[in-house]
Structure 1
Amino acid sequence: MHVVVVPAGEASLTLHDIDVAPLGDTGVDAGAVQVRTSAVVPAADLAALVHERESAAEPPRWVWSDTAALYPPLLAEGVSVARCWDLRLCHTILRTSALTADSTLATAPPSGWDEARVASPVQDGLFDLAPSVPLDPVAEMRRQREALAGATALDGSSASARLGLLLAAESAGALVAAEMTFAGVPWDAAEHDRILADALGPRPSAGFRPSLLEAKLAEVREALGVDDLNPDSPAELLRQLRSAGLAVASTRSWELRGVEHPAIKPLLEYKKLSRLLTANGWHWLDTWVADGRFRPVYVPGGVVTGRWASDGGGALQLPHQVRGAVRADPGWTLVVADAAQLEPRILAAMSGDEAMARAGQAADMYEGMVATGAVETRQQAKYGMLGAMYGGTQGESGRMLPRITKAYPQALALVEHAARAGERGQVVSTWLGRSSPLPGGAWRAAQEAAADQEATAADQDRARGLARGWGRFTRNFVVQGTAAEWALCWMALLRLRLRALDGPAVPGAAPRPAGGPHLAFFLHDEVMVHSPAGQADEVARIVEETAAEAGRLLFTDARVEFRVTVATVRSYADAKGVATDLPLPALENDLEGDAEV
């Protein structure tokens, strides 16, 4: 059973109970939507009605225009839902997926469903949406189910099941995002202040730099022999560095690290401290932390690959320096889990490369690659795989690429195929069916100029460079996007298991996302559960089980194991061994010089 929620005025709404036919592979009724009953109810009664329906033996799937607008007010009333269908998020995927390119939804002129959401995710009103034209959720649900029923893969087979899984996972992710914002990340403001004071000096008066930051700046000025320097102005800093005889092309930290001069070390230290002050300093603390909670605003699907973005608080760029301020409540603990070598495992499963799949059965996939003889060291495996997935051809990543290609030909063929498609300006898709955007007008204009009979060598070089750059984007799109799909499925499964662990909802009790073990933080392939200490072991087991289940859900026949590293800690800073496989600085240098798009 599905229930469509439709605003019907300033103080009322309509609830449509609808039947949705199974998708199937054939049949004119596949995915059909039939309204069974309809009722107009006061908006003030929505929370009670939702709670009543959620308490039934078989709760419905709620269908609404925008989870970020409609769900937070329900959470504020102490009501949560198990499942939903977010029409706006699903519309975006179906509108751009190559699997539904011929559907009525994809070929229709732009509508209100294509407009950016206007409502704030944290608001007082239920329906503060302002599209240019009224939206009809029932009609949109019909269009979406029709598009799903006709979803077709490149080989002509039905892609309804895969794409349907993506839409369900995307909608579940919207529920997770709203619940995590509502519950918040447990945050010790006093500890954060102490961390800042230790690193920067005591909190300064408005308009002044902290004392330790000012002292570091004095070292830079002295080393450069200047009395006045604003290091926060890239243009001025570059001019002063060149005046000191340093042949630098930019003020980027990775370039400065290769320069020998007494000013460089304190300058790099200044830049690091300045980033901390700007991104997570006292102003950030005053703005985003209240009542012992940091409540960032997540944007599911905010990146074209399907990764999340953040619309406030910078949750997806939380630096290690301040993670000590993330502390569980008394009697509670943090269960922090990170997917080990997620993208290489995703590539192995997608490509069906048997040799890479064997390496992926190891707890540490990079060590598994060493064990199979593909490379000699774990570092070589890491450089080689990240270079292959991100298009690195220079430095250590480029040197390892031929060995990785020889060891895992099917895996490398998959990303190479995606890269060549991008170079031709074609669309590529993730495992479940999210498709990449087409390159922009400047890209197309450059290719047309290069194809002209009067094209110059400069025209052709520019076109080739842009084509290679877009190829690097599509190369990684298929892997990173599929990894995002796995993470969505992981969180969706984990969320439902945690709800079951929390027990049935009780009217008048604390809202479910904060009343028991609940997801508190998510970062690409890492999750944090805030759990009562007595349930931490069971939560850790559920985290591991749902990670493996998410792998089986996406890749039913794959032999790759999706493992997670789990740490149960009081402070986020103590989650040792978690998030240890980010690209190394030297590899970032290889890729940065290779991947200007």
Structure 2
Amino acid sequence: MNRIVLVRRHGEVEVREGDGVVRLAGDALPGFVAEREVGAEPVRWVWDDTTRWYPALLARGVRVARCTDLRLCHALLRRSPFVDQALLVGDQAPGWDSLQPVTAVDPGLFPPEDPADRLDPVDEHERQQAALAGSAERGRLGLLLAAESSGALAAAEMTFAGLPWRADVHDRLLTELLGPRPAAGQRPVALERLAAEARRALGAPGLNPDSPADLLRALHAAGLPVADTRSWTLEQVEHPATPALLEYRKLSRLLTANGWAWLDAWVRGGRFRSWFVPGGVVTGRWASNGGGALSMPTQVRPAAIADEGWRFVVADVAQLEPRVLAGMSADTAMADAARGADLYQGIVAAGVVATRAEAKVGMLGALYGATRGESGRMMPRLTRRYPRAIGLVEEAARAGERGEVVRTLLGRGSPLPASGDADGADLGEAPDDAGPRGDRDRQRRAWGRFTRNFVVQGTAAEWALCWLADLRNRLWELGEGELAARPHLVFFLHDEVVVHTPEHLVPEVTEAVRQAAAGAGRLLFGSFPVDFPLDVSVVRSWADAS
């Protein structure tokens, strides 16, 4: 595969291909890229950061099949235990360490005073290639770098295409729940009514329910000795004001997070566009910037409606993390339990526990370190039946407690404890009142719970990236024309994808989603027999997905 490095040089683009160097005017780049993308030889574009290059290409109708995102790859390599860190040392390493993605829409290809312009992509690419070549796990690490870079392309495409969103439906939903849109600075009528009910019930005519301090004083004055005003605390309080306060809190959150101001700010031209941030979480999970894309409440999802003649294909994988744990630990007994749609029911069928609820509680305890109470009671049974799987997360927890780096299957490394308390000793359990040493031990055990989950959640993120990368390419092959005219991804959340597709291509898209999931399993776990079954819905509105 031919690698072409793109470098910004004083308003021009320097194109480095092998030993050759060509300079292009910025506005000539889209045509050059488009021509090479349809050429006989596959191309991998190498650039400092996808968010700085790809949006401008997409705006000109140019889609890129492959890239190397040096910013994302640098972050992976700098933390990976698969890499000799001496090979990444250079004067510009701190600049690459601190480089952030661009989330604003720039009017041109080159934003002014960009810190990326002070970095040399050619030298950085050479360092990264040397680090990869020198790794004993080059195959795994190379797959991780390629998947992360492909994720960056998918993220930019999802922002560009946008999630179809009906502003009129959203407005109707808000009106039904809150009342008509209020004047600036006023509460909607539903909130004002609930506030009045709470004031009457508490005997506090001046209560401002939006002020935690004011509300806490009113609760205390009413003889309710609560420590805070959180919803969970209020749910434990038996008082006539409680229902109104809880409903007020629920609707107030909706107004703040996804009310009319959100609609004005984030929906344009029938599309909701957020910036997805690959690798935004240390485990490799994505984050988002703007509009709360990854925490969209069910109350407003009915406004996500496919275009006329189009449909959403919504797919999510059942119990992804336990299945990944089975694959990465090569635990055949757990893989047997995972065969089919419900891993938890498979654990019950194996005779490990009596009910599905027990299986779920026990498995979540193993993944997240909740080893006391009901979860702790399940752990010995799970350990006896699935020793390889439980042993893997237990060892990750112990390594974290010792202050060591743990890694995902493909080589993403965990951060070190921020407290600096991990000095290599494993002190085990200590009483809660053991003084400074007890505090230190609690911090270590907390970090052990983080590393326990890191190895599984991070590997699940790798599986999802491979699923997304393969699906992205399969979708492109199903249609014709520019990106938004073909089936295309419009949403991704950990283990769920939403594809916007012409209705007549729904069967092909559904098959592509399933084939890509199966392919991701083979990429990560080879022939090991672990299933990744999908729940797939074909809907007009996202809210109708099962």
Interval of TM-score (by shorter of Structure 1 and Structure 2):
over 0.9
Residues 181 and 296, structure 1, Cα contact 8 Å, conserved in 2: yes
List per-residue Cα deviations over 1:286-334 (Å, max 9, x = no partner): 0000110000011111111111111111111111111000000000000
User: 1:73, 1:125 within 8 Å by CA — same for their partners in 2?
Assistant: yes
Name the counterpart of 1:586. none
TM-score for both structures, normalised by structure 2:
0.94
Distance 2:300 2:259 in 1: 9
1:63 matched to which residue of 2? 46
Distance 1:394 1:500, change over 3 A: same
For residue 462 of structure 1, what is the aligned residue in structure 2?
439
Residue 257 to residue 71, structure 1, CA distance change in 2 (3 Å):
same
Corresponding position: 1:387 with 2:369: no
2:160: which partner in 1? 182
Q: Which residue of 2 aligns with 1:330?
A: 308
2:281 to 292, 303, 312: 303
My pick for the range that moved more, 348-357 or 240-249, is 240-249
1:478 aligned to which of 455, 459, 469? 455
Give the aligned partner of residue 590 of structure 1.
none
CA-CA distance at 1:109 after TM superposition: 7.2
Q: Which residue of 1 aligns with 2:118?
A: 134
- How far is 1:520 from its partner? 0.6
Identity %: 58
Quote how far apart the aligned CAs of 1:502 are.
1.8
AA in 1 matched with 2:523: L
Q: 2:231: which partner in 1? A: 253
Which amino acid is the alignment partner of residue 474 of structure 2?
R
Distance 2:202 2:424 in 1: 45
Amino acid at match of 2:79: T
Give the structure-1-normalised TM-score: 0.87
Following the alignment from structure 2 to structure 1, what is the Cα–Cα distance between the partners of residues 229 and 235? 10
Which residue matches 2:264? 286
Q: Match for 2:317 among 320, 325, 339?
A: 339
Q: Match of 1:15?
A: 15
Give 3-state SS (helix, strand or coil) of 2:307's partner: coil
How do 1:80-95 residues align onto structure 2 when only pairs under 5 Å count? 80-95=63-78
CA distance in 2, matches of 1:242, 1:98: 54
Between the aligned partners of 2:72 and 2:104, the Cα distance in structure 1 is 14
Structure 2 CA distance for partners of 1:251 and 1:425, relative to 1, 3 Å: farther
| Partner of residue 464 from structure 2, selected from 479, 483, 487 | 487
Alpha-carbon offset, residue 235 of structure 1:
3.2
Letter of the structure 2 residue corresponding to residue 527 of structure 1: V
| Alpha-carbon distance in structure 1 between the residues aligned to 2:424 and 2:213 | 33
User: Does the aligned pair in 1 maintain the 2:400–2:406 contact within 8 Å?
Assistant: yes
Aligned residue pair count: 539
Deviates more, 1:142-151 or 1:257-266: 257-266
| Residues 302 and 497 (structure 1), Cα distance of their counterparts in 2 relative to 1, 3 Å cut | same
Q: CA deviation at 1:13?
A: 1.0
Choose which of 530, 539, 543 in structure 2 pairs with 1:569: 539
For 1:148, the equivalent position in structure 2 comes to 132
Whether the 8 Å contact between 1:201 and 1:211 is mirrored in structure 2 is: yes
Superposition pairs of residues 340-489 of structure 1, within 5 angstroms: 340-440=318-418, 442-444=419-421, 457-489=434-466
Letter paired with 2:58:
L
Counterpart contact for 1:103–1:150, Cα < 8 Å: no
Q: Distance in 1 between matches of 2:313 and 2:47?
A: 32
Separation of aligned partners in 1, 2:232 and 2:541: 30
Q: Is contact 1:69-1:122 (8 Å) kept?
A: no
Equivalent residue for 1:520? Answer: 490
**Higher mean Cα deviation, 397-406 or 77-86?**
397-406
* Cα distance change on mapping 1:457 and 1:114 into 2, 3 Å: same
**Higher mean Cα deviation, 456-465 or 103-112?**
103-112
Matched residue type, 1:67: T
The AA in structure 2 aligned to 1:83 is: R
**Structure 1 SS opposite 2:115:** coil
Letter paired with 1:63: V
Cα RMSD after superposing both structures: 2.1
Amino acid at match of 1:122: V
Is the Cα contact below 8 Å between 1:69 and 1:121 reproduced in 2? no
Q: Distance in 1 between matches of 2:142 and 2:152?
A: 16
What SS does structure 2 have at the residue aligned with 1:356? helix
SS of alignment partner, residue 230 of structure 1 = coil
Deviation at 1:132, TM superposition (A): 7.7
Hey, what does 1:5 align to over in structure 2? 6
CA contact (8 A) 1:447 1:463 kept: no
Q: Is the 8 A contact 1:71 1:178 kept in 2?
A: yes
User: Which residue is 1:585 aligned to?
Assistant: none
Unaligned stretches of 5+ residues in structure 2: 428-432
Per-residue CA deviation, residues 375-410 of structure 1 (Å, 9 max, x unaligned), is 222222112111211111344333333332333222
1:105 is matched with which residue: 85, 88, 91? 88
Aligned to 1:52: 35
For the residues of structure 2 that align with 1:484 and 1:375, how far apart are their CA atoms?
28
Work out whether residues 446 and 462 of structure 1, in 8 Å CA contact, stay in contact via their aligned partners in 2.
Answer: no
Structure 1 residue runs without a partner (length 5+): 18-34, 152-157, 451-455, 504-508, 577-597
The one-letter code matched in structure 2 to 1:274 is: S
Equivalent residue number for residue 26 of structure 1: none
| CA deviation after TM superposition for structure 1 residue 101, in Å | 4.2
Paired residue for 1:550?
Answer: 520
Question: Over residues 447-485 of structure 1, what are the superposed CA-to-partner deviations in whole Å (9 max), with x where a residue is unaligned?
Answer: 99x9xxxxx942112111211111111111111111111
2:509 corresponds, among 533, 539, 546, to 539
Of residues 526, 530, 533, the one that matches 2:500 is: 530
Cα deviation, residue 421, structure 1? 1.3
Q: 2:143 aligns with which of 142, 148, 165?
A: 165
Distance 1:559 1:108, change over 3 A: farther
Task: Check the 8 A contact 2:317/2:533 in 1, yes or no.
Answer: yes
> Counterpart of 2:228 in structure 1: which amino acid?
S
